[in-house]
Amino acid sequence: MLRFDSVYKRFPDGTEALRNISLHVPKGQFCVVLGPSGAGKSTLLRMLNGLSQPTEGSVYLAGELISEQSVQRLRRKVATVHQQFNLTPRMSVALNVLSGALPQVTHLRAGLCLFPSSLREKACHLLDEVGLTPEHVSRRVSELSGGQQQRVGIARAFMMDPAVLLADEPVASLDPRISRGILELLHRQSRNHDTTVLCSLHQPELAREFGDRIIAVNHGRLVFDGTPEQLTDKVCEELYHGALNREHGMSETAPSASESELELAAA
């Protein structure tokens, strides 16, 4: 369903956010992306919804190359739950969820905020599924708690019946109980809708619990790819320890020994 072919991403300031990423995610898989802060997880996900283009290499979605011509069409198959929610503040919960279906409605309807009743029913259904109540509907999103906003974001993502769901740290800054609830929700939603999920996380325990498959990136490189069972505590420690080294400017250039070990462990 998703395929990366030796993808590199270099930002204009010289930051190498992705280096030689090759990856294939089959349809219906729940794939968790781990990696320390700044590893390139968000950049990896943004390749798939066209918010960022690879400097080198190619990205395929449902067998089609994501290019300038195809991106607008392919995007409709992809939904994103953003790291910072990215809801429109000062707009009601209802409109925020409905805006997830904007590509489907005409400009006239969109301009007048007159969404077809099928979409409105779907929005209600989704809001109910993510555990919001009818009194939230007319509130502005800025009047919701962080966890509630995240759920609005998830409801919005499912408005288009996406074939692919990108969830960028959907549970960062949420308390453990809500985190679990949200991940269960994503898991259930993707099962029900047969969605391929790429979900970045910071908690290895949660990754093991919910992922069908776990990959890890560090310094923009794919350093681990395996099943939840293969992600041992030792591997986790190495992964985050590598980050510590990098923060202190000790392993800026060459990949450290620990990384090669990680790759061996994964193989």
Binding site for ligand ATP (CB under 6 A): 11, 13, 15, 17, 35, 37-43, 83
- In which region does residue 263 sit, left (phi positive, over 0), alpha (psi from -120 to 50) or beta (all else)? alpha
* Angle between the N-to-C axes of helices 233-247 and 257-266, in degrees from 0 to 180, rounded to the nearest 10: 150
Element (H, E) at 225: strand 221-226
Q: Look up residue 216 and give its DSSP letter.
A: E
Q: Which does 40 bind (CB under 5 to 8 A by kind): Mg ion, another protein, ligand ATP, none?
A: ligand ATP
> Which residue, 44 or 206, has its beta carbon nearer to another protein?
44
- In which region does residue 2 sit, left (phi positive, over 0), alpha (psi from -120 to 50) or beta (all else)? beta
CB of 6 to ligand ATP, least distance (A): 18
Strands 213-218 and 30-34: parallel
Q: Which does 245 bind (CB under 5 to 8 A by kind): ligand ATP, another protein, Mg ion, none?
A: none
CB of 219 to ligand ATP, least distance (A): 9
Q: Look up residue 219 and give its DSSP letter.
A: T
CB of 166 to Mg ion, least distance (A): 11
Residue ranges with strand state E in 11-157:
16-25, 30-34, 56-61, 64-65, 78-81
CB of 29 to Mg ion, least distance (A): 21
Q: Which does 265 bind (CB under 5 to 8 A by kind): another protein, Mg ion, ligand ATP, none?
A: none
Question: Given the rule CB under 5 A, which residues bind Mg ion?
Answer: 42, 83
Task: Give the other-Cβ count within 10 Å of 74's Cβ.
Answer: 22
Task: Give the other-Cβ count within 10 Å of 22's Cβ.
Answer: 12
CB of 80 to another protein, least distance (A): 5
> Which residue, 76 or 191, has its beta carbon nearer to another protein?
76
Q: Which does 86 bind (CB under 5 to 8 A by kind): Mg ion, ligand ATP, another protein, none?
A: another protein
Question: Given the rule CB under 8 A, which residues bind another protein?
Answer: 49-51, 71-73, 75-76, 78-80, 82, 84-91, 95, 99-100, 102-103, 107, 110-111, 156, 160
Residue of minimal CB distance from ligand ATP? 42
Cα–Cα distance for residue pair 162/7, rounded to 1 Å = 24
